[in-house]
Amino acid sequence: MTKTAERHPVKTAAVPPVQAPSPVGGRGRRRLADQARAYAFLLGGLICFALFSWYPAIRAVVIAFQKYTPGSSPEWVGTANFTRVWHDPEFAAAWRNTLTFTLLALLIGFAIPFVMALVLNELRHAKAFFRVVVYLPVMIPPVVSALLWKWFYDPGAGLANETLRFLHLPTSNWSNGADTALISLVIVATWANMGGTVLIYLAALQSIPGELYEAAELDGANLLQRVRHVTIPQTRFVILMLMLLQIIATMQVFTEPFVITGGGPENATVTVLYLIYKYAFLYNDFGGACALSVLLLVLLGAFSAVYLRLTRSEGDA
């Protein structure tokens, strides 16, 4: 029983055991009853985590090495799923698209909110208005944003080309052209998601002590130098955190390509998650889908580990 106390040295120190007077039974029975009660509280949550988080993670790895068809017993096939998936021409396209998407989303979808937050932080009027408006697209269901932009990108009467015509600029194929499709989707994702990034970064900017800017200005630093030598170092951790979160989120992009382009034209917008979906629900190849999932999992798990490491170490500091 003292083991429990050792296991949670911090907690025991923070919360000394509240011993209600225990007329019947010894300490041992009392402890057992406490444990039973603790697990009664935990049970429902634990079952859900076990069934829908822990078990699927294990199962993904197992099925990745099996020929799996729902309803019949699975067969072990070694690494056949991985080799089959690897030789699928869509495999390379999906990874290339996903990585390009992530990189573009990092360049566009990170730079724009970053500058926007910097500017918003300097404005002294209509603060609430800006925050509400920039976050509005986040609250619009992603499916609606995707359908909305699909309509904007319509080569005929779509708003995107109408605007270009109005400005006497050459029109574009947007999501319908093989070389513009991916960037068109990045624009949609940026529009739909940047509200969160702006708000979080804005909060970080507000925590920078004003004296630092004053000192920098006294030292003769101009605006850009102040951004470079005060703002960025002071918010370095939040920048890094937001970047990693963005990478993890965009590597799992599905809704935009599924709704707007259907993976086309010429596989230009097939993403890894889209390919997983296709393997499972179009080809009925769950082994292949799980092999792909495992690959995605390993890569994203590495990013997530870095992210957690960062948040953890910052918390200690």
Partner 1 sequence: MSTRTLISPATLARPRGKALYWTVFTTVVLLFALAFLFPVYWMVTGAMKSPDEVTRTPPTLVPEHWHLGGYTDAWDLMQLPRHLWNTVVQAAGAWAFQLVLCTAAAYALSRLRPVFGKVILGGILATLMVPAQALVVPKYLTVADLGLLNDPLAIWLPAAANAFNLYLLKRFFDQLPRDVLEAAEMDGAGKLRTLWSVVLPMSRPVLGVVSIFALVAVWQDFLWPLMVFSDTDKQPISVALVQLSQNIQLTVLIAAMVIASIPMVALFLVFQRHIIAGISAGSTKG
Angle at the Cα of 186 from the Cα atoms of 145 and 160, rounded to 5 degrees: 65
CB of 148 to partner 1, least distance (A): 6
Tell me how far apart the terminal alpha carbons of the chain are, to the nearest angstrom.
33
Query: Coil, strand or helix: which one is 65?
Result: coil
CA 300 to CA 22: how far, in whole Å? 50
CB of 277 to partner 1, least distance (A): 7
CB of 217 to partner 1, least distance (A): 6
CB of 75 to partner 1, least distance (A): 16
Nearer to partner 1, 113 or 268 (CB): 113
Residues in the chain, how many?
317
Nearer to partner 1, 68 or 95 (CB): 68
Say how many CA atoms lie within 13 Å of 282 toward its Cβ: 6
Nearer to partner 1, 92 or 141 (CB): 141
| Dihedral in degrees, nearest 10, Cα atoms 287, 290, 295, 299 | 180
Say which DSSP state 182 is in. H
Nearer to partner 1, 80 or 221 (CB): 221
Phi, psi of 284 (to 5 degrees): 55, 30
Nearer to partner 1, 92 or 123 (CB): 123
CA 50 to CA 70: how far, in whole Å? 21
Nearer to partner 1, 25 or 179 (CB): 25
Closest of 276, 296, 290, 300 to residue 90, by C-alpha: 276
Query: Could you count the other beta carbons within 10 Å of the beta carbon of residue 100?
Result: 16
Contact 179, 157 (CB under 8 A): no
CA 63 to CA 74: how far, in whole Å? 8
CB of 35 to partner 1, least distance (A): 6
CB of 56 to partner 1, least distance (A): 4
Nearer to partner 1, 16 or 78 (CB): 16
CB of 200 to partner 1, least distance (A): 4
CB of 267 to partner 1, least distance (A): 19
Closest of 1, 81, 76 to residue 33, by C-alpha: 1
CA 188 to CA 207: how far, in whole Å? 31
